[in-house]
Amino acid sequence: MTRPLTTALLSATAISLGLPVLAEEVNVYSYRQPELIKPLTDAFTAETGIAVNVAYLDKGMVERLTAEGDRSPADLVLTVDISRLAEVVEAGLTQPVESDTLRANVPSIYHDPEGHWWGLTTRARIIYASKERVAEGEVTTYEDLADPKWEGRICTRSGTNSYSLGLTAAVIHHHGEDGAKTWLEGVKANLARKPEGNDRGQVRAIWAGECDISLGNTYYMAQMLKDPEQQAWAESVNIVFPTFEDGGTHVNISGVAMTKAAPNRDNALKMMEFLTSPAAQQIYAEANAEYPIAPGTEPDDLVKSWGEFTADDVNLMELAKLRGAALRLTETVDFDG
Ligand code: FE
């Protein structure tokens, strides 16, 4: 895409005068992988002429932004999980962003009321159930998982993993801390083995006959189906969207936040508006089999084939606040022990 003529002329003038070139750019720190981000940044640059520089991080986002302080080149932070978004916000590293476009594109339960973080896609925390050993309708709620009828039949990853803590925070939201403690004890008593491995590892265990149901995020079904080695695991299970007895299905988000130091604030806002646009959400959601959240958008056909669900209607900031309590309870009941 050619840049607007005025920019090109300004740049040419700046060069001829020996002044620094004011490039139109935006800088992103991302916990999300290049294959998910690249199609979006390419589309954004094509539409706006603004170059996007992405630093892909595995960990240490908060530490890095803190160390860089006011001199940080980062404008935006891209990550999954409300806990990670909340972590950056709580460290005082973000700024509130207000925009009619953002408000129109992002339902209110998926953004910070003060605008410090904005959701882009959701993923549901679901039950993978053995096709052979679990009848349809046998498990329908998260509360069910603590029922003794599942004794020795559940597999899950560590209770201290962020996905697990998000769900436990939701249990606290619905049942209070005492109720959540009882639930954790009940689930622990039903485990077929000590928590280990990742979400896909639990489905593998179902395929291998070690357990009958497991907890996992929706998009792992798509990832398993794409992997020749894991396809059989995926095909051994049905997807069940459990709900809370008095609520919906637990979801978490991927989202974006603007850093406090953002040197390219205007471009960063443009990119946030672009990322939340229905078209961009669709690209982003499809890349990892997630759910777009803008009004009028739909997931891709594979994701749709898993069925429909009603997301729990708790604001995710509420869950972020309960995560400390969730971790404490998980340790108190020695969930992984
Ligand atoms: Fe994941």
Q: For 325-335, what is each residue's pLDDT tens digit?
A: 999 999 999 99
Could you tell me which residues come within 8 angstroms of residue 7 by beta carbon, excluding any fewer than 6 positions away?
24, 49
The rounded distance, in Å, linking the Cα atoms of 52 and 32 is 15
Query: Binning pLDDT at 50, 70 and 90, where does residue 215 land?
Result: very high
- Total domain count, the chain: 2
Q: CB of 206 within 8 A of CB of 192?
A: no
Residues 206 and 322 in one domain: yes
- Asked if the structure places residue 303 within a domain, the reply is no
At residue 272, the pLDDT reads 98
* pLDDT higher than threshold 80 for residue 202: yes
Give the range of the structural domain holding residue 94, as residue numbers without chain letter.
2-122+251-297
User: Which domain CATH number covers 242?
Assistant: 3.40.190.10
- Asked if the structure places residue 305 within a domain, the reply is no
Residues 212 and 293 in one domain: no
C-alpha 285 to ligand 1 mean position (Å)? 13
Residues 198 and 317 in one domain: yes
C-alpha 216 to ligand 1 mean position (Å)? 9
What is the Rg, in whole angstroms, of the alpha carbon atoms belonging to the chain? Answer: 22
Task: Write down the H helix ranges in the chain.
Answer: 5-17, 34-48, 61-68, 82-90, 100-105, 162-190, 199-207, 219-226, 231-235, 265-276, 278-287, 301-305, 316-321, 323-332
C-alpha 133 to ligand 1 mean position (Å)? 26
Residues 324 and 184 in one domain: yes
Digit-coded pLDDT (tens) for 239-251? 999 999 999 999 9
C-alpha 20 to ligand 1 mean position (Å)? 42
C-alpha 252 to ligand 1 mean position (Å)? 11
Report the pLDDT averaged over residues 57-78: 96
* pLDDT higher than threshold 70 for residue 1: no
At residue 22, the pLDDT reads 56
C-alpha 308 to ligand 1 mean position (Å)? 21
Residues 54 and 86 in one domain: yes
C-alpha 264 to ligand 1 mean position (Å)? 30
Residues 165 and 189 in one domain: yes
pTM of the complete model: 0.88
Residues 198 and 129 in one domain: yes
Residues 103 and 202 in one domain: no
The rounded distance, in Å, linking the Cα atoms of 91 and 95 is 11
Residues 86 and 230 in one domain: no
Residues 194 and 324 in one domain: yes
C-alpha 203 to ligand 1 mean position (Å)? 14
C-alpha 217 to ligand 1 mean position (Å)? 7
C-alpha 10 to ligand 1 mean position (Å)? 44
C-alpha 80 to ligand 1 mean position (Å)? 8
At residue 280, the pLDDT reads 93
C-alpha 162 to ligand 1 mean position (Å)? 10
- Asked if the structure places residue 304 within a domain, the reply is no
C-alpha 18 to ligand 1 mean position (Å)? 48
C-alpha 23 to ligand 1 mean position (Å)? 35
Residues 111 and 150 in one domain: no
- Asked if the structure places residue 337 within a domain, the reply is no
The rounded distance, in Å, linking the Cα atoms of 136 and 143 is 17
Residues 174 and 201 in one domain: yes
Report the pLDDT averaged over residues 257-278: 97
C-alpha 7 to ligand 1 mean position (Å)? 41
- Asked if the structure places residue 318 within a domain, the reply is yes
C-alpha 253 to ligand 1 mean position (Å)? 11
C-alpha 263 to ligand 1 mean position (Å)? 31
Digit-coded pLDDT (tens) for 16-37? 455 555 579 999 999 998 988 9
End-to-end CA distance of the chain: 56
C-alpha 52 to ligand 1 mean position (Å)? 25
C-alpha 230 to ligand 1 mean position (Å)? 16
Q: What angle do CA 231, 234, 239 make, to 5 degrees?
A: 155
C-alpha 32 to ligand 1 mean position (Å)? 10
C-alpha 95 to ligand 1 mean position (Å)? 27
